[in-house]
Structure 1
Amino acid sequence: NSNKFTGYVLIINDSTRVKVGYSEKLEIEGQTTSEIAENNGAIAAINGGGFTDEATGSLWTGTGAKPTGIIMSNGEVKYNDLSSDDEQREVVAITEAGVLLVGSYSLNELIQHKAKEAVSFGPALIVDVQKAITNGDGGWGIAPRTAIGQRKDGAIILLVIDGRQTNSIGATLKEAQDVLYEYGAYNASNLAGGSSSTMYYKGEVINSPSDSLGERAVPSAIYVEK
């Protein structure tokens, strides 16, 4: 808690339990983070990568049907709109060994690093213990935030900050970065925020999504195996 926002942090000691899930109706419609979590028997989950919808053509609106970039789950590419396997895109990925990758990678580079799980989003917030945002607030304004980091001991940090509410207006990218840094992250990245920002834990959503209708349909989620 701060005077400005309320956030939720989950620490996952075994990073190999952290996986990418996706809508069972990918490219037709999204599902909520809760639905993706329950489909995978997860104990916890946060929303994942970005999306657009062809009906409107604008980012992060609509039904969460059409992801942007790539979705990789259990070593298989489930979605890919990159122009080539060498095109770089900002990603959040986890390797077979449970190492979190953040920043720009091509599909070929992800395969070389033995990535097993991945979604496209960014920007990277912390790289090799160095904060990426040192001047200004990150340029994305104040909003609900979802982010992920990894500590030196391998533990994964999942972060969701509520926003657009009277008791929690939201956070800048720099503020999300600073929270992750305080929790010991040496690598970290932003994930899709706004009304997508959701944290699911033990059968329920524990944060307060900003959409008046509740959880937003999304194409992907990052979940924790039981």
Structure 2
Amino acid sequence: MTPLKNKRRKGSRVRRAVVAGAVALTLSAGGATAWALDRFVVQHVEISDVSAYQAGQSGTATGNTANTSSAVTTDTSYVSDSSNINISTVTTGSGDSTITYYVADVVLDDATTLQSAFANNSFGENITETTSVIAEANNAVFAINGDYYGFRDTGIVIRNGVVFRDEGARQGLAFYRDGTVKVYDETATTAEQLLADGAWNTLSFGPSLLDNGEIAAGIDDVEVDTNFGNHSIQGEQPRTAIGVIDKNHLVFVVVDGRSPGYSSGVTMTGLAQIMKDLGATTAYNIDGGGSSTMYFNGELVNNPLGGNKERGTSDILYIGQ
């Protein structure tokens, strides 16, 4: 028989081990929470006045109709000395299979008319405002959400001819001063080289939706980010995409989703088909979900998440008044 004293010692050791394990688990969970808050919530401002920064750095920078079964109704248009914008609404399907999306057919007189702006006029991680608020702060007549660069610390970020980040990681989209727009491999070049080649703006999200006008293979399985909280962009979702018709002729598409009966959203292949039907030869997916927003002439065009529930984002592309 084991002496009572030894039993007590053994029991004490077991209790201490359990307590120690619980403390370690708590500390581990606390550490994970702190990391997650720092990574996804806490603002990390790198440049607090982007307008002034761009001004100081600028010297170093060198209506189609969708082929669908339902009618496309042109809601409104805008013509200025620098751009021609036509906004259309498309609704297809019925019941829970209904899809509603918005098309902005844009012709620019000058490629630099398409500009970018950051939330709070600041560059860094986790800095957000809604697309509408950023648009209004920059006197935009038209705007869409950008690539949500502030969710990650990788990618090449060139905005309005100025470099903000040079950490190539994925397929990017480059808008050039001569009006051309190209998908490129960020890991095969540098921001400096892109500037030298005439890049004006870049986006870092993806994937590319069309290859020489044909739907790209495997796009429904793409993962843009593999970090916690944003593993995939698969399935039927709200979407935002940019298509290229010709030099200085672009189409911007925002698909509403997650609202059965109004708009269920589309898969990546479905989005590619929309862009192809609009006549795009190059098309590129950018941040979607609750971020998918189109703004025009002081108002929301689409209906984010079925209730005009704009989600904050870190950046927009816009055309000024």
TM-score by length of 1: 0.82
Amino acid of the residue matched to residue 141 of structure 1? G
Deviations 1:117-145 (A, max 9, x none): 11211001113323213x68456111000
Partner of 1:125: 209
Question: Contact 1:102–1:127 (CA<8 Å) still a contact in 2?
Answer: no
Aligned equivalents of 1:196 and 1:67: distance in 2?
A: 19
1:41 corresponds to 2:132: no
Partner of 1:177: 272
Deviations 1:197-226 (A, max 9, x none): 000011011101118671111111111233
Secondary structure at 1:185 match in 2: coil
Partner of 2:48: none
Amino acid of the residue matched to residue 123 of structure 1? P
Aligned equivalents of 2:115 and 2:273: distance in 1?
A: 24
More helix by share: 2
Displacement of 1:108: 4.1
Query: Structure 2 unaligned runs (5+)?
Result: 1-90, 223-233
Amino acid of the residue matched to residue 197 of structure 2? H
Partner of 2:115: 19
Partner of 2:198: 114
> How high is the sequence identity, in percent, across the aligned residues?
32
Partner of 1:63: none
Change (3 A) 1:136 1:71: closer
Secondary structure at 1:116 match in 2: strand
Change (3 A) 1:73 1:26: same
Partner of 2:100: 6
Aligned partner (choices 106, 125, 129) of residue 31 of structure 1: 129
Amino acid of the residue matched to residue 77 of structure 1? V
Partner of 1:58: none
Question: Contact 1:49–1:119 (CA<8 Å) still a contact in 2?
Answer: yes
Change (3 A) 1:67 1:160: farther
Aligned equivalents of 1:145 and 1:101: distance in 2?
A: 20
Aligned equivalents of 1:89 and 1:108: distance in 2?
A: 17
Change (3 A) 1:129 1:154: farther
Q: Give 1 or 2 for the bigger CA radius of gyration.
A: 2
Question: Contact 2:174–2:184 (CA<8 Å) still a contact in 1?
Answer: no
Secondary structure at 1:124 match in 2: coil
Displacement of 1:32: 1.2
Displacement of 1:70: 3.4
Displacement of 1:76: 0.5
The aligned length equals 208
Partner of 2:287: 192
Aligned equivalents of 2:219 and 2:154: distance in 1?
A: 27
Aligned equivalents of 1:212 and 1:81: distance in 2?
A: 37
Change (3 A) 1:141 1:9: same
4+ residue segments displaced more than 4 Å: 135-139
More strand by share: 1
Aligned equivalents of 1:10 and 1:224: distance in 2?
A: 12
